[in-house]
């Protein structure tokens, strides 16, 4: 049974999330369930595959690992047990450098880098709700990819624990990856899909 069959004001946990047997995919942010958009469109998938290819090629023989959705990222508020965690998200792409965060269920703790590709149904959540939650969890670098505008906004977590102003990159440029100073992503090939 999915979460919408229950009271709308109820707070949910990862333990609840694991019992939902609907054919639909969900994310849980601060105890609130959010339905995932239907299967992504062709352009979204093309962008995801090209970003995955560029990141994966760079990460060969490096300790960091790349994962694409669906992949559960559990973001505990403190040191609560898994079943009590109130946030589990499925970023389009996650880069995790601390292998201790990885287990059979996915990732427990903040990835080093998260990429979300906007779609009409998820833009508000990605730009606001997930932005705040990733910042609070300690995601070091957050990329928001806008397929319609053909641009990437990158946010880097500062020493104060907050994201600074975004760097915005157009389709014709190489976008630097802050957590990997020797990596730049060729946006021209990302957006040709």
pLDDT at 1: 43
3-class secondary-structure state, position 29: strand
Say if CB 149 and CB 178 are below 8 A apart. Answer: no
Domain locations in the chain?
43-190
Say if CB 143 and CB 154 are below 8 A apart. Answer: yes
Say if CB 64 and CB 96 are below 8 A apart. Answer: yes
- Chain-centroid distance of CA 60 in Å reads 21
Q: Is 3.90.1570.10 the CATH classification of the domain at 43-190?
A: yes
pLDDT at 27: 86
Distance of alpha carbon 55 from alpha carbon 24, whole angstroms = 28
Residue-by-residue pLDDT tens, the chain, 193 positions: 455 545 556 889 999 999 886 677 888 999 988 887 666 678 889 999 999 999 999 999 999 999 999 999 999 999 999 999 999 999 999 999 999 999 999 999 999 999 999 987 778 888 999 999 999 999 999 999 999 999 999 999 999 999 999 999 999 999 999 999 999 999 999 998 6
pTM over 0.85: yes
- Chain-centroid distance of CA 16 in Å reads 21
């Amino acid at each position: 049974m999915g979460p919408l069959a229950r009271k709308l004001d109820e707070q949910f946990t990862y333990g609840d999330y694991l019992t939902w047997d609907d054919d639909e995919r969900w994310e849980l942010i601060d105890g609130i369930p959010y339905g995932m958009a239907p299967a992504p469109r062709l352009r979204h998938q093309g962008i995801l595959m090209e970003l995955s290819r560029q990141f994966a090629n760079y990460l060969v023989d490096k300790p960091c690992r790349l994962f694409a959705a669906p992949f559960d990222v559990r973001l505990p508020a403190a040191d609560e047990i898994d079943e009590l965690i109130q946030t589990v998200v499925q970023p389009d792409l996650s880069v995790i450098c601390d292998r201790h965060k990885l287990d059979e269920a996915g990732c427990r703790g903040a990835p080093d880098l998260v990429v979300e590709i906007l779609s009409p149904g998820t833009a508000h959540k990605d730009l606001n709700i997930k932005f705040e939650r990733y910042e609070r969890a300690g995601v070091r670098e957050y990329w928001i990819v806008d397929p319609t505008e053909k641009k990437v906004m990158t946010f880097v977590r500062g020493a104060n624990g907050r994201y600074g102003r975004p760097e915005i990159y157009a389709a014709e440029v190489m976008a630097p990856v802050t957590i990997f100073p020797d990596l730049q992503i060729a946006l021209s090939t990302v957006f040709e899909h």
